[in-house]
Amino acid sequence: MAAIGALVVAVTLRLITRWVGHFVLLIPTVIAVVATAVTGNAGQGPDHDYTTSAAIVFTLALATLTGLKTATAVATATPGRAVQVMQVACGALTLSYGAVLLYLLIPGWSFDSDFARLGLAAGLVVALVWLSDCWGLFVRPAGSGGARIAGALTMMAVMAAVAAMAIQTAPRYVTHQFSAWDVFLGYELPQPPNVVTLVTEWRFDSLVGTLGVVLAVGYVVAYVRLRKNGNAWPVGRLMAWLTGCVVLVFTSSSGLRAYGSAMFSVHMAEHMTLNMFVPVLLVLGGPVTLALRVLPAAGDGQPPGPREWLTWLLHSRVTAFLSHPITAFILFVASPYIVYFTPLFDILVRYHWGHEFMAVHFLIVGYLFYWAIIGIDPGPRRLPYPGRIGLLFAVMPFHAFFGIALMTTSSAIGSGFYQSVGLPWLPSIVADQHLGGGIAWGATELPIIIVIVALVAQWARQDRRVAAREDRHADSNYADDDLDAYNAMLRELSRMRR
């Protein structure tokens, strides 16, 4: 998979010169980079939910850092501050998530195996590179071309060490006796779920959970900076965004995810929350508008910065296509049918990376749909408010039919996986699926109410703005008519005096 993805990207890059094409190629690039990591040591055995998520972030950060080092080595110009900040950030992610992986895969920090020694050596080298990058960012500008070449070669050596570790068995698994729960979940669930366990049984998701924390912190920092500059920002948007981030962290890291990986009913509650509730709150936060108001514009003669890249992304053809109301509607409606009523779910439900994929997918699809309905940020083509309400109600029959189909089928979706897990306190996986169908059917009520309230409020606000604008225009026309009449009178008096 990794080799095929790398080949596709390498060949396509030779044929595509536009930035839009490069942006689209990020999808096969990410697949190629993480494929080996999530199917190797990190995707096996006890706590593989922790190690899989950590491996995804670690691998992407390491690959990005190596790519940045290589690009700056072959470039003639000195890397700008934005590149240096990215290098420091990627180095920090590589170090922190690499430490998590070593802690989980090497019991007792015993470095008597090649796997452990390679991991320790790679970690020390990355730490030195990161300290050097911090020095270049905060103390002294980046070094000469020779130093940049040395940095690139060093990171390539780290990549080679990580590749060598991938073909060895991690010390934790050498003598471990695997159970079915180790293979399919990575942890035990000795008792059935209840309100207490769903709230307290936390297994923090270092990918989606960390994303929620980063989004919350970034928004608060931008909000504080905007207020310090003397600009106002609605508190309601701040509260909507932070609530969405809290729900995102809870859904991905609490007992809802722990039991959702083993029970279809709880999984469906997680899915509906990520697809229909969290996106509504995030969209109402208006993050793009806030970013555009906070990020500084690049100066004359300077390369494009984050603000310019964000503006380009908003106006790109990819965004225009994905955020079009019809496209967003089709993705939102078709996704559950494609995932659950095809063999795709049987594959995804078996692996933690599959659960991560479903979480990210449903979150993005939900965001695109509600962006087209109640979005504050600029970007997608806007329907008139009656059209938005019609599009919202058009979704409801499809979700109702989806829930009814789950409730009435006599065969269990993903039955092979759920039978292999074999929860001793779950009497029937078919009955559990019927419960999940009921959750899918009834979970749309609260998000729909929130969206309708937001739509009505936005519609009323727009009507007030239009009325105020028309009043100002009428007053202006009235004043202009009086002025014209007065000037005409003066001209007539002047003519009579002649």
Q: CA 292, CA 421: separation in Å to the nearest integer?
A: 48
Angle at 408 between CA 349 and CA 351, to 5 degrees: 0
Please report the pLDDT score of residue 491 as a whole number. Answer: 66
Kindly state the average pLDDT of the residues 272-279: 94
- Tens of pLDDT, residue by residue over 429-438, are 999 999 999 9
Band (pLDDT 50/70/90 cuts) for residue 394 is very high
Higher pLDDT, 445 or 102: 102
pLDDT tops 50 at residue 478: no
Q: CA 400, CA 394: separation in Å to the nearest integer?
A: 11
Please indicate, yes or no, whether the overall pTM of this predicted structure exceeds 0.85.
yes
Q: CA 55, CA 63: separation in Å to the nearest integer?
A: 12
For the record, the structure tokens of 423 come out as 């929860």
- Tens of pLDDT, residue by residue over 316-358, are 888 889 989 999 999 999 999 999 999 999 999 999 999 999 9
Q: Which of 2, 352, 40 is nearest to 165 (CA)?
A: 40
Band (pLDDT 50/70/90 cuts) for residue 2 is low
Higher pLDDT, 105 or 302: 105
**Is 42 exposed, middle or buried, given 0-12, 13-18 or 19+ CB atoms closer than 10 A?**
buried
Higher pLDDT, 416 or 476: 416
Higher pLDDT, 71 or 244: 244
Please report the pLDDT score of residue 450 as a whole number. Answer: 87
Higher pLDDT, 222 or 305: 222
Kindly state the average pLDDT of the residues 267-275: 95
Kindly state the average pLDDT of the residues 201-229: 94
- Tens of pLDDT, residue by residue over 22-37, are 777 888 888 888 888 8
- Tens of pLDDT, residue by residue over 103-145, are 999 988 788 889 999 999 999 999 999 999 898 888 776 566 6
Please report the pLDDT score of residue 304 as a whole number. Answer: 77
**CA-CA-CA-CA dihedral for 91, 95, 101, 107, to nearest 10:** 160
Band (pLDDT 50/70/90 cuts) for residue 262 is very high
Please report the pLDDT score of residue 26 as a whole number. Answer: 82
pLDDT tops 60 at residue 494: no
Residue 246 and residue 315 in contact, taking contact as beta carbons nearer than 8 Å: no
| Largest Cα–Cα separation, the chain | 115
**Considering the chain, what is the average pLDDT of its residues?**
87
Kindly state the average pLDDT of the residues 372-390: 86
Residue 204 and residue 187 in contact, taking contact as beta carbons nearer than 8 Å: no
Please report the pLDDT score of residue 466 as a whole number. Answer: 66
pLDDT tops 80 at residue 405: yes
Q: CA 364, CA 373: separation in Å to the nearest integer?
A: 14
pLDDT tops 80 at residue 176: no
> Looking up tokens 């759920």, which residue turns up?
418
Kindly state the average pLDDT of the residues 162-176: 87
For the record, the structure tokens of 242 come out as 């932070």
Kindly state the average pLDDT of the residues 286-298: 90
Residues recorded for the chain: 498
